[in-house]
Chain A
Amino acid sequence: MASIKFNLNGKPQTVEASPEMPLLWVLRDVLGMTGTKYGCGMALCGACTVHLEGNAIRSCMTAVQNVAGKNVTTIEGLSSDASHPVQQAWIELDVPQCGYCQSGQIMTASALLAKNAKPSDADIDEVMRGNICRCGTYQSIRKAVHLAAEIKAKGARA
């Protein structure tokens, strides 16, 4: 066991956990933040995606000791009121079906838009292909990423 400190959703967080424990399980079981999902445990499906220093990472393969002193953002911290452009777009287009993968989809999409304000379909495919949606919401996700880019651009101009 170790005491590990990092910033979680903008606030300092200390956890007592095995340093090897993946961030996913620290979030879910130790901190009770269940918005981040377990899907494969091998960074194959993207359901566990969170932001580490703004980059989309797979929390199921990231030992908690590797986030010490860093900034972690989860779906719960993306916005307090579903107001992030990606969440707005997801709501506008009713993207989710079962919804289980959508936290990961949204975290990957929001990290993409932070780096690429106007991604093409090919850009979206390349980045989002790491996130499985078994319900098959891909077409809606593709549209929603474009819409989120528009919402973000409007927000930036306003």
Chain B
Amino acid sequence: MSTTTITKLKPEPPKVIAPNLIDNFSRRGFLGAAGGLILGFVLPSKSAAQQVGIPPPTIFAPPPTGKPMAYIHIAPDDSITFWITKSEMGQGPTTACSQMLAEELECDWSKVRVQVAPVDPASFGHQTTVGSQAIRTTWVPLRTAGAQAREMLTQAAAQRWNVNTSQCRAENGFVINTSTNAKLSYGSLAEDAAKVPVPANVKLKDAKDYKIIGKPVKRLDTRAKVTGQAQFGLDARVDGMLYAVVAHCPVFGGKVVSFDATKTKAVAGVKDVVQTSRGVAVVADNTWAAMQGMKVLTVQWDEGAGANVSSASIRQMFVDRTKETGGIARKEGDAAAGLAKAAKKIDAVYEVPYLAHAPMEPMNCTVHAKGDSVEAWIPTQSPTTARAVIAQALGIAPEKVNVHVTFIGGGFGRRGEGELDFVLDAAEVAKQVKAPVKAAWSREEDMQHDYYRPASYVELSGGVDADGWPSVLQAKIACPSFGQIRDGVDSTGVSGIANIAYSMPDILVDWREAKTIVPVSYWRAPGNNQNVYFLECFFDELCALGGKDPLEARRHLLTQNPRNARALNVLNIAAEKAGYGKKLPAGHFHGVALHPGALNAQIAEISIAKGKVKVHKVVCAFDCGQVINPGILRQQAEGAIVFGLAAATKGEITLEKGRVVQGNFNTYDVTRMDESPAIEVYIVPSTESPVGAGESCNPTILPAVVNAIYAATKKRIRKLPIRTMNLA
């Protein structure tokens, strides 16, 4: 049940452990039972954020105060186990992180096994998998760890042969004596290698020498996922476990006054009904019984002030707020003056609704409170914080909570740092039930108690110069905060528009908070998933206003700044591969969009029939720096496009009387197979430091499709989702 355990370690005592880790491991008992050799590496304490955008150093000196963050375990049978600290929700860190370790370790890929690391801040730092950072934050540390291990194994071999290390070469799980061609396997060297001091300086490989990085290595988790063996959170099973379903007040901010469980307790299989800080839970000996019990539970809620809130009232508040002064997020020149002198100008209001994450696996968490310790099985992006949530709820030290991070049935930002309400539910239920308990949410509960993608409203004004080139842009944004307000601006709230790459003399982007009762948080590409739509569609309006081709105008305004070279490159690749400007089948139209912040351009080919848009094909050109695994990268681009398409064409969470109207996939539908376009992804070869990939491509598809609709109909869709009536 420790999950994602692709192989189990033999229960032998460790023979040799790097001295800096032995205490930690034995104290926790985490690896105490693991066999063979464990090499732990001191890695930099330098924050991941500091590394972003900085080219990887070829020589790397870990400071002595650094935290060990990556582990390689080499067993006597030559099997190699990597501990992975990033949550696997489909985006592939299990495989990609292993590739980075294996590349520098020079091991036999077929012998690599992977285990999910337990929560252990002392060893692994703060474990969280958010913001498309799994690769960029481990890019230097994991390769360094692999290189250090390779170096130590090489030195151990050199000592055994009594030769200089320059006579030794590490390759495919062996150290080779280049004079005699003698070979020693890593397993046979591991014990001696662990006695070698961890080298302070190791040289990382040049990109031209990569054997595993950048190669379409098969995912390590596929087989488990096609046989039903992969263990997700909802699949956790513990002896004697009970099943709880939870309900929260239908109105945001409301709470339980009282409940009558008489009918519920009469349902066969129901064991108990308990109150939690945010609602109630029915506990039964199976999920179905708990659900049946919940149906007949009478709860009196104090709905609070939220009961008066509706989508209409929220929208009016957004409108009112835009009249107020906002914090300035981006200022170039003088937008007011630019508008005054523009040859032509245009105003438009754009808006997007709340969106639910709707991952396929609804929220759930399993907690076994055993008195002085706790076992928890959690499908979470942020296990360190999840552990703290459980510890606090149960009044126990975090070190006493053993977290098993399971496979995650879709994250998209729903299961991260600020969104661990489902963990709290389980802990609060477990505290009251004298048995291990799995607390699960129904689909309806999941959809109606999300931390939503915030609705957003923007008043846009812009103009073109005498030559018709877009020359001025003003954006006044009102939206709920992501909790990152600084100097009056929420950086995420303006992400995707404040970083506009087009060179225009006059730009003003400002932002003001529009607080509502609706809980909001990160939703795949937060900020960008709304603002790239606003910017790229309104920019398309400016192109039309100036009589410019949308592609040509983008090229023209990108070319003026050499910093936009990579953005221009993806735009050009997408245009060429899509055959932009060439004849399309009758009734087919192209739309162009660029996401300069995530360096991808997309061209959507659509047609419209019976008032409905059909997306036939999407060409995506993507530059995310050094590619670790092109297969997984393609998956992420394709999947994000399908995800974004749902936001463009279907997704909408609305409120009436403080309640979410939608409840299941019949009222909140998502992209389905027959609506999924042919997607061509072109990856730009690069040796730049890798950047995130999971959230890069979903914002771009929205404006690509909407701009194609304009090409087809001359109608601007300024409010999502695209509605059939708008295309009639």
Contact = CB atoms under 8 A, between A and B. Distances in A.
28 contacts: A30-B286, A35-B229, A37-B360, A38-B234, A39-B360, A41-B291, A41-B664, A42-B665, A44-B665, A47-B360, A76-B227, A82-B223, A91-B223, A94-B222, A97-B90, A99-B224, A99-B407, A100-B409, A102-B226, A125-B674, A129-B672, A131-B673, A132-B665, A134-B360, A136-B642, A137-B638, A139-B679, A142-B676
Given A18-B269, A90-B226, A94-B219, A100 B360 contact: yes
B227 A35 contact: yes
Contact of A135 (B90, B221, B231, B443): B90
Interface in B423-443: 440, 442-443
B664 to A, nearest CB: 5
B666 A42 contact: yes
B62 to A, nearest CB: 34
B61 to A, nearest CB: 37
B559 to A, nearest CB: 33
Nearest to B636: A97
A99 B230 contact: yes
B545 interface: no
Given A75-B227, A134-B360, A139-B679, A25 B286 contact: yes
Interface in B244-294: 268-269, 285-289, 291
B673 A100 contact: no
- Top 3 nearest A-B pairs (CB, nearest first) are A35-B228, A136-B642, A100-B409
Contacts of A96: 90, 219, 221-222, 225-226
A36 B570 CA distance: 41
Contacts of B360: 37, 39, 45, 47, 98, 100-101, 132-134
A119 to B, nearest CB: 12
A76 B228 CA distance: 6
Interface of B: 88-92, 218-219, 221-232, 234-235, 237, 243, 268-269, 285-289, 291, 358-362, 407-412, 440, 442-443, 631, 635, 638-643, 664-666, 670-676, 678-679
Q: B interface, by DSSP: helix, strand, loop or mixed?
A: loop
A98 B407 contact: yes
B134 to A, nearest CB: 14
A140 to B, nearest CB: 7
A94 B286 contact: no
Contacts of B638: 136-137, 139-140
Nearest to B89: A98
B673 A128 contact: yes
Contacts of B407: 98-100
B568 to A, nearest CB: 27
Contacts of B229: 35
B414 to A, nearest CB: 11
Nearest to B219: A94
Among A36, A37, A74, which residue has the most Cβ atoms of chain B within 10 A?
A: A37
B635 A141 contact: no
A11 interface: no
Contacts of A91: 218, 222-223, 226
Contacts of A1: 268
A95 interface: yes
B673 A135 contact: no
Contact of A136 (B223, B268, B408, B640): B640
Given A25-B287, A25-B288, A134-B359, A141 B230 contact: no
Contacts of A128: 673
Given A99-B221, A100-B409, A37 B286 contact: no
Contacts of A47: 360
A68 B440 CA distance: 28
Interface string A28-52: 1110111111111110110100000
Nearest to B671: A136
A145 to B, nearest CB: 10
B90 to A, nearest CB: 3
